[in-house]
Chains A and B, each alone.
Chain A
């Protein structure tokens, strides 16, 4: 009984610490290198850059995907709900806003490659 009490006390003391420390970190992402949330994507000869780079953005922040492509195509944005953005050959600026926190993958439909991972917080 005494031992069970000891263990339970330790548990009870440790767990609120988890909650308390959690609150200190509400949605303040470290300053990303690109404050205006513009991502440059280049498609050429069947490949794309970047390939899976993670970009931190804020909820509701307008994001611009500046796509330079040699062929028209589609970007598939895995937000909730999912979105499809089409672009033409040449330079297209696609505008995007993610309204809820999460990690959203932006994939190239044709190349089956994750271009950018948007960490929205």
Chain B
């Protein structure tokens, strides 16, 4: 039965989405172009998202509930229960594609977490089982969870998280045995071990910088309406929230991996790549490795050139700019995740919910979902899907352009504020046109 999967060509999930019609792709690209230059021409010239002033306090009852101990404890318990259930299925379940672990790992965790974070804020921080375990150890040993043996070196920033995210996408997209239980189990075991070790060594601040899922979730949460000021829950516009993203070292690496990997995922399914890798005498594994690296590094490189090819004032160093502008890729990443993974999340996500009732493959129905059927409405409406994809990519692009514009106004000297934005604008247009082309050539 283990010959069921051959991941050199496939991950999980059945049929893939149809390519979008060329007219829609072109229309999307043109809309992105027009709106970008309009924003550049007519948008504001003085910074408008002052972090200390944007947003207003959330309704009192909501703030009281969210900040209450029972609420926080419930979330932590939910995270641990989910972790325990998944771990049990991973250790005692069968190595078949019907094991819910694959759907939980590749769909609920990887895609679902992003959607939840955009709606509800930094979700992983609230439910992360590794944080909970670290907290429990700290309580048991009587120390504070925030303090560790060492101080986390600030220069490292998000780089470990970028590596962790790359390790995930490598596993998902390149590793030939990504749909076998052993490798998935091993990946998760290494993840948990490294996270617990890091938490013990550096304190819980380690998770904010090095837990790939916490970094991913918290960055996606910058597009939500939720924020905090002086510990108080506030509500503010996603653009204002996005502007509060700190320029931590490695931020560009993180968003490059996220965007590059999604673009590669799309590229990998194209008929061109399938035929090229099969006809080539070079191993598909090597080609996929090189392509994934090229996409991730390419995104970072194009963005860096777009950022540094600008005039700067005397106080600013050019090489600091990419990390300071990197937050503007976040909406582009989320738009592209929506475009590429919506059917996957909705349809394979339902399939996973059904499979979750039978974690050991013995015909049981533990959660009561075993008799449900998957609703394939999305797949039966390819036109709706195509419009949704193009809208998601274009809206993500527009939000990215606006975010970059705001940052340019803050950082660049007056005489370079418009012309200085052009290289970055062109880089973003290249990303969007490239993204739309990949959706068309799928």
**What are 17 A-B residue pairs whose CB atoms fall within 8 Å in the complex?**
A7-B39, A18-B387, A21-B27, A22-B384, A23-B383, A25-B24, A25-B383, A51-B275, A54-B271, A80-B379, A81-B14, A100-B380, A102-B16, A102-B379, A119-B18, A119-B19, A121-B382
B379 in contact with A26 (CB, 8 Å): no
Alpha-carbon gap, A24 to B21, bound state (A)? 10
Tell me the B364-410 residues at the A interface (CB within 8 Å): 374, 376, 379-380, 382-384, 386-387, 390-391, 394, 398
Counting CB contacts under 8 A, is A67 at the interface? no
Q: For B391, what are the chain A residues with a Cβ–Cβ distance below 8 Å?
A: 15, 18
Given contacts A14-B31, A52-B278, is CB(A109)–CB(B6) below 8 Å? yes
Residue of A nearest to B45 (CB): A3
Provide the residues of chain A in CB contact with B279, threshold 8 Å: 51
Known contacts A3-B43, A19-B387, A79 near B14 by CB under 8 Å: yes
Q: How far is the CA of A11 from the CA of B394 in the complex (A)?
A: 10
Does the CB pair B9–A121 fall under 8 Å? no
| Residue contact A3 to B383, C-beta cutoff 8 Å | no
Closest to B271 in A: A54
Contact of A114 with B by CB under 8 A: yes
In the complex, which residues 1-28 of chain A have their Cβ closer than 8 Å to any Cβ of chain B? Answer: 3, 6-7, 10-11, 14-15, 17-19, 21-27
> Is A98 at the interface (CB under 8 A from chain B)?
yes
In angstroms, Cα B275 to Cα A19, docked, is 33
Q: Are B23 and A25 in contact (CB under 8 A)?
A: yes
A89 to B383, CA, bound (A): 42
Contact of B379 with A100 in the complex, beta carbons under 8 Å: yes
Minimum CB distance partner of A108 in chain B: B6
- List the B side residues contacting A10 at CB < 8 Å: 34-35, 38
Chain A residues within an 8 Å CB radius of B394: 15, 18
Contacts of A104 in B (CB 8 A): 14-16
Q: For the complex, what is the distance from the CA of A42 to the CA of B147, rounded to whole Å?
A: 65
A19 to B24, CA, bound (A): 9
Which B-chain residue is minimally distant from A84 (CB atoms)? B4
**CB of B63 within 8 A of chain A?**
no
Contacts of B24 in A (CB 8 A): 18, 21-22, 25
Beyond A23-B383, A102-B379, A114-B278, list 7 extra A-B contacts (CB 8 Å).
A6-B38, A53-B275, A76-B6, A80-B376, A82-B14, A100-B376, A100-B379
- B42 proximal to A (CB < 8 A): yes
Pairs A-B, 10 closest by C-beta atoms: A102-B15, A80-B14, A52-B275, A22-B387, A52-B274, A103-B16, A25-B21, A3-B42, A14-B31, A112-B6
Instruction: Indicate if the CB atoms of A113 and B9 lie closer than 8 Å.
Output: yes
Chain B contact patch, size range: 35 or more
Nearest A residue to B386 via CB reads: A22
Main secondary structure of the interface of A (DSSP, over half): mixed
Question: What is the size, in residues, of chain A's interface with B at 8 Å between Cβ atoms?
Answer: 43
Choose one: B10, B17, B31; the contact of A18 (CB below 8 Å).
Answer: B31
Q: Which residue of B lies closest to A80 (CB)?
A: B14
Q: Which of B418-442 contact A (CB under 8 A)?
A: 442
Cβ-defined contact, A113 with B278, below 8 A: yes
Interface 1/0 per residue, A65-105 and B, CB below 8 Å? 00000000000101111100000000000000010111111
Determine whether B3 belongs to the interface, using a CB cutoff of 8 Å to chain A: yes
| Complex Cα gap A21–B29 (Å) | 14
User: What separation, in Å, do the CA atoms of A7 and B34 have in the docked complex?
Assistant: 10
CA distance A90 to B442 in the complex (A): 34
> In the complex, which of the residues B6, B35, B374, B390 has the most CB atoms of chain A within 10 Å of its own CB atom?
B6
Contact call B14/A17, Cβ cutoff below 8 A: no
Which of B31, B34, B347, B398 is A80 in contact with, Cβ under 8 Å? B347
Q: Are B38 and A102 in contact (CB under 8 A)?
A: no
Q: Known interface pairs A52-B271, A119-B18, A121-B382. Does A105 touch B10 (Cβ–Cβ under 8 Å)? A: yes
Distance in angstroms between the alpha carbons of A52 and B8 in the assembled complex: 14
